[in-house]
Amino acid sequence: MSLIYTWFSTCVTIFYFKVVSVSPLMKATLKYLTGIAGPSGYGSKTTADEVAQDCLSSMPTSHQLTAIVTGATSGIGAETARVLAKRGVRVVIPARNLRKAEKVKESIQRESPEAEIIILEIDLSSFASIQRCCSEFLSLGLPLHILINNAGKYSQKLEFSEDKIELTFATNYLGHFLLTEMLLGKMVETASQSCIQGRIVNVSSVIHNWVDRKHFCFSKLLSPKSYNGTRAYAQSKLANILHAKELARQLKARKANVTINAVHPGIVKTGIIRDYRGFITDSLYFMASKLLKSTSQGAATTCYVALSPQTAGLSGKYFADCNESRCSALANEEAEARKLWKQTRALIHRRFLVPVGQNVKGSSTN
């Protein structure tokens, strides 16, 4: 069986190089299926373990990194936390379900007894909860080198947060926006003191391409009159990219030694689709299993952007399969990114009296 698979992969690889140059879409698809490495030396089949080993093996042990990983109680978030901790990174897991977080911690420490895991309580859909979590983290007096905004919420039905905001948008975008704002000062300070560049990673999705301009209206994102779960999820992931684009511009203007990028982890069967359980879904996943990434492959791009020397200095970019990639035209619009930023900051300040934009010394809120 392995011989047949090897023969098939070889044939596909030859076809990729000899025939498909006329079709960029087909070329990209075959590149994904065969795992052909891109300019970074990695591809769709690369695992998070491989990336972390390459990137952290040469780092002096005296420079322990501290990383916050949201959504680390399952899926690619848990794998990201495991891989980072295995390589000596101190990992902070903010979690709504503390019992699940403890289980992840125990699992990581069984594999890596020396791993340092800190658990904090957070509900990313609640601004008050985010403020409490950030205050608790800052009170620990720890540095912060890496912030991975990984947590994702998908809801088939219309739900609202305690702040009366549509739940998917509140969790996936607004929650991570506020978390980043409240921790940015610590990241800039850490980067300045340690001379190690800070890295922020927004986990987005290729599904952001589905969003068209007429549906991307801030007030409707907060409280939609008609609701579609897939569209709401796609809109939140577009907002994650726009957030990265605008914050990258601001950080560059301030000459802060912190970068922010967005990543598409690939299509992985994780808890994000738990609401779609059923015979049809399971059957489709069985048939498409060769197209899906493993959890470790799904976490690879996040680890690459967060750790690799190759991504040093890159900011406001979009990555897939551990290589810089193209996002949608709407996601690339600087004016759209700036408008969303201003609307978000105004909402937070007006409704929740959060002093955003004051966590970075000398920062500008323009």
9-32, pLDDT tens digit by residue?
444 444 444 444 444 544 555 555
Q: 150-192, pLDDT tens digit by residue?
A: 999 999 999 999 999 999 999 999 999 999 999 999 999 999 9
17, two tokens: 């190089």
Query: What pLDDT digit, counting tens, does each position of 324-361 carry?
Result: 999 999 999 999 999 999 999 999 988 765 555 444 44
Q: Which amino acid is at 278?
A: G
Percent of the chain's residues with pLDDT above 90: 73
Question: Which amino acid, one-letter code, is at 138?
Answer: L
From 5, 16, 227, 318, the catalytic residue: 227
Backbone phi and psi for residue 69, each to the nearest 5 degrees, phi listed first = -125, 110
Residue indicated by tokens 């952007």 = 305
What domains does the chain contain, in order, with CATH numbers?
29-350 (3.40.50.720)
Cα–Cα nearest to 204, from 165, 246, 176: 176
Residue-level pLDDT at 292: 81
Query: What secondary structure letter does DSSP report for 294?
Result: P
Determine contact, residues 237/204, Cβ cutoff 8 Å: yes
Give the DSSP letter of residue 173: I
State the residue for tokens 């019992």.
99
Q: Which whole-number Å values give the CA distances from 306 to 112, 180, 255, 330, in the listed order?
A: 21, 15, 19, 25
Q: Which residues of 101-137 are buried (b: 16+ CB within 10 A; e: fewer)?
A: beebbeebeeebeebbbbbbebbbbbbebbbebbeeb
Q: Is the pLDDT of residue 107 over 90?
A: yes
| CA 214 – CA 351 distance, rounded (Å) | 26
H helix runs in 152-261, sequence order: 167-169, 175-194, 218-222, 229-253
Mean pLDDT of the chain: 86
Parallel, antiparallel or unpaired: strands 323-324 and 146-149: unpaired
Active site residue 154: no
